[in-house]
Structure 1
Amino acid sequence: MRTIRMDEMTWPEIGDAIARGFTTVVVGVGSTEQHGPHLPTMTDTRIADELAHRVARRLGRALQARTIPVGVSEHHLAFGGTISLGRETLRAILRDYVDSLAACGFERIVLLPSHGGNFATVQEVIDEAPAAHPDLVVTGYADLLGFSTFLAQASGRFGIAADAAGAHAGENETSIMLALEPELVRRDRFAAGYLGPLGEDQVKVILERGMTALTANGVLGDPAGASAKQGEIYLELCAEHLVSELGRVSPPAARG
């Protein structure tokens, strides 16, 4: 096929693909929110879309549905440009996505969040899906701290400290955006933000009190060491990691 993106296909093409065994569909779950003074507000959505595409390619016989461009971003509202959904709103959107894709004939739906505020809601939808769709596999990757740790380790390959790699608009995300959308990265606006530890306690502070409780410029990390070369490597490593994690879930044919 010339494309696996459903939004670039006609309905007969999608039906034919499913009939030929393309029964898995991957959905990126992004956000529209501030990413410091140097990255665009579409950063999470662009990354989610790219990872969903690479994961679908690696899974084989998989299509990619339209990436969801908004998410739970209330903790970023103190900064301009952020558009946030309530958790119940995102949950309803994800449920409707699942219902719609199930009606198309897909047997497996993979939800891939790229924004920390979406992970918990994605997991809730995964957990509740069997009750509504007992013959459908709904899976994904919703381990926020695990994914953050993986990204920090990836940056460590280039001698980037974990606090600089960051979890939001730091070296890691900036490198990825330099690989994907270099013209949208404001290199002259690079500035370090919060450089302290980022564990469960700090994440709780962010979600309860907002990003400004830790950072004045909206950055967690330091973009200074970013490069497009590193970004491409991070994307490949992330896609491989996600496929490996998804492999822990049995496909529909193997379920009893």
Structure 2
Amino acid sequence: MKVLVAVKRVVDYNVKVRPKADGSDVDIANVKMSINPFCEIAVEEAVRLKEKGVASEIVVVSMGPKQCQEQIRTALALGADRGIQVETDAELQPLAVAKCLKAIVEKEAPQLVILGKQSIDGDNNQTGQMLAALTGMGQGTFASEVNVEGESVKVTREIDGGLQTVELTLPAVVTTDLRLNEPRYASLPNIMKAKRKPLDVTTPEELGVDIAPRTKTLKVEPPAERQAGIKVADVAELVEKLKSEAKVI
């Protein structure tokens, strides 16, 4: 079974992002970049499926400037077999990403596509669902457990009321949640081996995909700073402050 995994290059989650002076976007100059954490979970799940003998090949795909090959190589070091980069310097919105993935799915014909449920930069949570709609595949989102059984996959997903298990006929699209697994660290030997693994480069134009943006960012600004809290001596003082100062009761 071939598994296709999408990974995204984002600002490392340990970095405190800052907007540009003109408020047009986030300033990423000289900022550490990494694989989106949810995408890293997707790679780990694919590698675990391969270790169980369920998956025979793992193909990793990423979209963006040439630098995103670093994240593809990281995924290869974690256990993926080969990589595909859709190279472009243009801004890629979820629909454009989903269309590019659809073109790659049609070419590669994977039985399972695994994506992170969202990226930590845009926080859109749209690409997986859009890809499933475009390809006509079943979808299991927010997966906390994935079990492949023959020609189907059972996905336990997190919902407001608890857990829901859905069964999908392969091929299918799965998006990963935080509790699905804990990604491993890449060992030095595997990092060296990853440099020799195949990595193909294509472009949206070669895939025949229109990546024109559908939405426009008007302004980027940091959240308002919260005022420091205070300590109260007892419940009576708390109630008094809620009445007189916060005016919520």
TM-score, length basis structure 1:
0.35
User: Which one has a bigger Cα radius of gyration?
Assistant: 2
TM value normalised by structure 2: 0.36
More helix by share: 1
